[in-house]
Structure 1
């Protein structure tokens, strides 16, 4: 393979994917609506086709102009998106759909591609835009990929958990980076041992490329940090990257309720462990970035871009009121 079409390609996962493909000698075409700055506008190995992925004619135009060996679908959020793409790109060497670890229904540890059940998806959920239906919609896309492979389409899916890294516009991790950088003490929900596996964005890009090149049609592949860490260990990594220390106030739901907070209001908190097995993609040659390196790059990028994540979690004033109360108990 030497040519790729990236549906998306300017913001987060797609941006890193383009860089990964360029590093492996692909000629890349991005397809998007042009609503965001194009970081590859001056790169003569990257073309861009402007259009709406929801318009079949626009997708056909992108296919004709890119003539891709591989297609990477970073912004398919509804089952109909995947249905249309697997039809239009039925004859490419590889169609790779970016799914999600949220597609899994059962709370197993770890979640395995060929064993853990997927979410069901009703007709109403399939057309919804809310976070509550995100997992079911991604799972429906996975099933469409599998069905397309049965028809001879070289379609595959990649399932990452929460993705972090430079250019992350969600600012979930930026919330914790800002807290550690700016304050001596932070409120931590629970005892810090909750586990929600994450995936460094450059590794996700690597995984997408490997699946296109080496994956089997109809298969899904988990991708994530091979060394999953607790919330507490994540704070250690952030502090190390910032060359600082931070005190932690571990808080129970009852203590948080003093200031009308609950654990799930804190970003990257999950009550039950969420861990994906990555052994299947490792067989394709996947290796994740050492955590200290991944966090150092992420912290540097978030600080350089002034990201604070302040809208992603409790207000600092509320936390300080709780800290004052806990300090007098």
Structure 2
């Protein structure tokens, strides 16, 4: 018997890898979205497309009836109401997995653990706001909708990724660093290079969503991230190794950066306080993460084939050159 999965989203970044993972595990897959982005699975017979708006209850119910999925993976639930409606519409599936976020945690502690670390509070105003500042609270409230649905007998779970990287990442956060490493022999890294922001390889996030939908405990949340963490400097070294580049990492403190009107926060993926998620709960379900070297090789290879350069995150190479000039005089 072939199982059927419905992926809400499914054509851009995480969702695209979710579909690939499901196909690799012999699922028939239906993707449900508005069809506003190119569908990379258009030629795949095992993948059907159901057009509709996930925020339209009638469209969502029609998708549930037409697909009759065994599992549902929800990649684009950005508001608590999205989760509440979806867990009602898909109340009888074997597993509903919602993409939450490590940003749902409301306090800074190392590591952040499911069921122990406090979640963000979410006001009524934040629940419907689409700003960056409300993202964590909205995801946390979505988790609470998962908990409530499970109490009503729905097989609903949440998966909390830390910052996600990998092929086809339209945010271009890691693309900035890849572009720097591949095109310059000296790269400015803010601080002492020991900044630690837990990251998750996108294929591992995809497999985590499937594993949780299949094996997860209703009402539970599962962190997902690389099983081995690397500092910002180690991340640059991984990129260099994957890209065959010879690069010098140059540390720059706040004083040196200020000489070019820069601050550490101007460098994407810099985070002053470490962000670390405990992933043992997910690993206990049999999930494994991809070795870092392999993950970065795939990421760099796809970057080279794309037209992404991370320029929207660029603090300015001229400014960096000024910083390098200051450091060279010390």
Question: What is the TM-score with the length of structure 1 in the denominator?
Answer: 0.98
Residue deviations 1:291-328, cap 9 Å, x none? 00000000010111032101113011211122122222
Q: Which moved more, 1:309-318 or 1:92-101?
A: 309-318
Q: Matched residues in 1 for 2:77 and 2:28: separation?
A: 22
Q: Matched residues in 1 for 2:13 and 2:267: separation?
A: 22
> SS at the partner of 1:107?
coil
1:27 matched residue in structure 2? 28
Q: Matched residues in 2 for 1:95 and 1:260: separation?
A: 47
Residue deviations 1:79-111, cap 9 Å, x none? 111111111111111111000001011111111
**Equivalent residue pairs, number:** 329
Q: Matched residues in 2 for 1:258 and 1:128: separation?
A: 37
Q: Matched residues in 2 for 1:126 and 1:265: separation?
A: 29
2:82 matched residue in structure 1? 81
1:15 matched residue in structure 2? 16
1:135 matched residue in structure 2? 136
1:267 matched residue in structure 2? 268
Q: Matched residues in 2 for 1:281 and 1:328: separation?
A: 49
Report deviation, 1:15.
Answer: 0.5
Q: Matched residues in 1 for 2:322 and 2:270: separation?
A: 21
Report deviation, 1:286.
Answer: 0.7
> SS at the partner of 2:5?
strand
1:182 aligns with 2:183: yes
Residue deviations 1:89-143, cap 9 Å, x none? 1111111100000101111111110210000111111111111111111000001
Tell me if structure 1 keeps the 8 A contact 2:105–2:120.
yes
Matches within 5 A, 1:310-329: 310-329=311-330
Q: Matched residues in 2 for 1:106 and 1:313: separation?
A: 29
Q: Matched residues in 2 for 1:315 and 1:57: separation?
A: 47
Q: CA RMSD in A?
A: 0.9
Tell me if structure 1 keeps the 8 A contact 2:5–2:30.
yes
1:65 aligns with 2:66: yes
Matches within 5 A, 1:238-257: 238-257=239-258
Q: Matched residues in 2 for 1:253 and 1:133: separation?
A: 29
> Structure 1 segments of 4 or more deviating over 4 A?
none
> SS at the partner of 2:118?
coil
Q: Matched residues in 1 for 2:61 and 2:314: separation?
A: 41
Tell me if structure 1 keeps the 8 A contact 2:256–2:326.
no
2:196 matched residue in structure 1? 195
Q: Matched residues in 1 for 2:307 and 2:35: separation?
A: 24
> SS at the partner of 1:259?
coil
> SS at the partner of 2:122?
coil
Question: What is the TM-score with the length of structure 2 in the denominator?
Answer: 0.98
Residue deviations 1:246-275, cap 9 Å, x none? 112211122211211111111111001111
> SS at the partner of 1:81?
helix
Q: Matched residues in 2 for 1:10 and 1:141: separation?
A: 22
